[in-house]
């Protein structure tokens, strides 16, 4: 009996069995997991070496505070920590920031017999190493350990990151807390992980107010998928613990839960760049009292200036955070990160909202350290992309002639279960060989 062309494409079945014989699953490429394990070991060795060098430089060679970020440390944060240990809260210590960093310094100072200067340096080194490690984990979860190694290498050789490692301040602790919240939200774990992510985001906010983008990005990430919407409640519960606590304290101190004078920094960016900041502060401190008054002062100029910042700050970041000849590769690399990588859109959303929040403040390279790890990862991803090879299509846009074939065993990156690794195979007899 002859078979029609349509029947010929179907596998022959045994009438007694009544079902097609099962096909052998494709075999994973040999050596892929071993290669990734070697790169992961190299990444951990790089982090250990950076930790050792940073500890030696900061604790043994950096004995005198600098004028920049550590001027605020000596003048504001250390007195606030000492007052906390004595049981006092002074409103003048919290004009531009929350209680997070002074509370960390107070706790470390108590452990180190009141040596707050040593505690600030220990905290800064620990936060810098943690931020580098979280950068490695973020890049490893998205791509591979190889990409994570070079992303960390680009990060720890960035002059801004190195200076922030040496100079104690709120930059590195806020960056470490922000990265911890980002990694947990992108892993899409259970309710406990979401509560921890919200708690870290709240601690980052009361450390540096420009971390306010974290709950916005976290809530949007959880609401984007029906399967994770129920985890928004534990996320907001973890976020409320540090934030509501600080709001209650600030209400007692200043009479308003969200009272701070960061509007002065925003006013200086939009209306005072022609004069030094100290002069602008002394001459206009009584003119602006809130963010709404800044917008109402000259709405057209405000919107125009904000649009210019959003359109051009990325190039300034590329020039000042790293060398211009390679920094311009960061934006195309971040765009490529969106293609075919589950979880990458959440990372890109965090980076975009951080960029948008910082567009309101006057430019300082150390303020942009929150975006630094994404820029470094994007630069490496673009520069390491093989020539003439396109990124795999996402499942929603895959051609009809292709299907997903999961490879048994651990993925190439040993990566997170919520960011699965798929390989694309055509429907042919060579599927196993191609995989």
- Tokens (6 digits) for 370: 């929150």
* Contact status, residue 327 vs residue 317, Cβ threshold 8 Å: yes
Q: How many CB atoms lie within 10 A of CB 310?
A: 13
* Contact status, residue 331 vs residue 377, Cβ threshold 8 Å: no
The pLDDT tens digits along the chain (435 residues) read 555 555 555 555 554 445 444 554 443 333 445 568 889 999 999 999 999 999 999 999 898 888 877 888 998 999 999 999 988 888 888 888 889 999 999 999 999 988 999 999 999 999 999 999 999 998 888 788 888 898 898 888 888 888 889 999 898 999 999 999 999 988 878 899 999 999 999 999 999 998 999 999 999 999 988 888 999 999 999 999 999 999 999 888 887 877 788 888 888 888 877 777 777 777 766 778 888 888 888 899 999 989 998 888 877 777 777 666 666 676 676 677 666 666 777 888 888 888 888 888 877 765 554 444 444 444 444 444 443 444 444 444 444 444 443 434 434 444 443 443 333 333 333 333 333
pLDDT of residue 120: 93
Query: What is the spatial distance between Cα 304 and Cα 285, in angstroms, rounded to a whole number?
Result: 23
- Residues 6 or more apart whose CB falls under 8 angstroms from that of 395 comprise 404, 422
Q: What is the DSSP string of 351-407?
A: HHHHHHHHTTSPP-GGGGHHHHHHHHHHHHHHHTSPTT-PPPPPGGG--TTEEEEPP
pTM to 2 decimal places? 0.75
Q: How far is CA 220 from CA 187, 225, 346, 417, 431, in A?
A: 15, 9, 9, 21, 38
- Tokens (6 digits) for 46: 């790089």
Domain locations in the chain as residue ranges: 32-383
What is the residue whose two structure tokens read 């000849």?
325
Q: Which long-range contacts (CB under 8 A, 24 or more apart) does 269-278 make?
A: 269/305, 269/309, 269/360, 269/361, 269/362, 269/363, 270/294, 270/301, 270/302, 270/305, 270/306, 271/297, 271/298, 271/301, 273/362, 277/362
- Residues 6 or more apart whose CB falls under 8 angstroms from that of 396 comprise none
Q: Would you call 102 helix, strand, or coil by DSSP?
A: helix
Query: What is the spatial distance between Cα 219 and Cα 230, in angstroms, rounded to a whole number?
Result: 11
Write the pLDDT tens digit of every residue in 190-222: 899 999 999 999 999 999 998 999 999 999 999
* Contact status, residue 395 vs residue 404, Cβ threshold 8 Å: yes
β-strand partners of 405: 423
What is the residue whose two structure tokens read 């980002």?
182
């Amino acid at each position: 009996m002859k078979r029609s062309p349509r029947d010929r494409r179907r596998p022959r079945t045994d009438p007694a069995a009544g079902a097609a014989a099962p096909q052998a699953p494709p075999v994973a490429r040999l050596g892929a997991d071993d290669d990734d394990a070697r790169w992961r070991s190299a990444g951990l060795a790089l982090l250990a070496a950076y930790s050792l060098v940073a500890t030696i430089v900061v604790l043994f060679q950096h004995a005198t505070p600098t004028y920049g970020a550590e001027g605020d440390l000596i003048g504001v944060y250390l007195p606030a920590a000492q007052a906390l240990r004595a049981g006092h809260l002074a409103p003048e210590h919290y004009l531009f920031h929350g209680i997070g960093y002074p509370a960390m310094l107070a706790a470390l100072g108590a452990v180190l017999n009141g040596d707050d200067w040593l505690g600030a340096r220990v905290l800064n080194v620990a936060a810098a190493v943690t931020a580098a490690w979280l950068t490695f984990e973020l890049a490893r979860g998205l791509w591979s350990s190889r990409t994570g190694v070079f992303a960390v290498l680009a990060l720890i050789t960035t002059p801004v990151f190195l200076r922030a490692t040496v100079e104690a301040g709120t930059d590195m602790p806020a960056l470490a807390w922000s990265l911890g919240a980002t990694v947990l939200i992108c892993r899409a774990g259970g309710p406990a992980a979401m509560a921890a992510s919200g708690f870290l985001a709240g601690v980052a906010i009361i450390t540096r107010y420009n971390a306010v983008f974290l709950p916005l990005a976290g809530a949007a990430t959880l609401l984007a998928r029906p399967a994770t919407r129920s985890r928004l409640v534990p996320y907001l519960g973890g976020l409320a613990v540090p934030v509501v606590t600080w709001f209650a304290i600030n209400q007692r101190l200043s009479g308003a839960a969200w009272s701070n004078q960061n509007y002065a920094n925003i006013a200086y960016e939009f209306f005072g760049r022609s004069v030094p900041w100290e002069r602008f502060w002394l001459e206009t401190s009584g003119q602006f009292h809130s963010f709404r008054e800044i917008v109402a002062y000259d709405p057209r100029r405000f919107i125009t200036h904000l649009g210019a910042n959003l359109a051009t700050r990325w190039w300034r970041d590329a020039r000042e955070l790293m060398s211009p000849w390679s920094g311009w590769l960061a934006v195309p690399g971040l765009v490529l990160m969106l293609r075919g990588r589950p979880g990458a859109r959440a990372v890109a959303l965090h980076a975009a909202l951080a960029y948008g929040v910082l567009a309101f403040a006057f430019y300082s390279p150390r303020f942009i350290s929150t975006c630094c790890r994404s820029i470094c990862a994007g630069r490496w991803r673009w520069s390491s992309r093989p020539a003439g090879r396109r990124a795999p299509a996402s499942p929603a846009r895959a051609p009809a002639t292709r299907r997903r074939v999961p490879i048994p065993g651990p993925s190439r990156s040993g990566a997170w279960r919520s960011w699965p690794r798929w390989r694309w195979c055509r429907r042919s007899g060579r599927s196993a060989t191609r995989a």
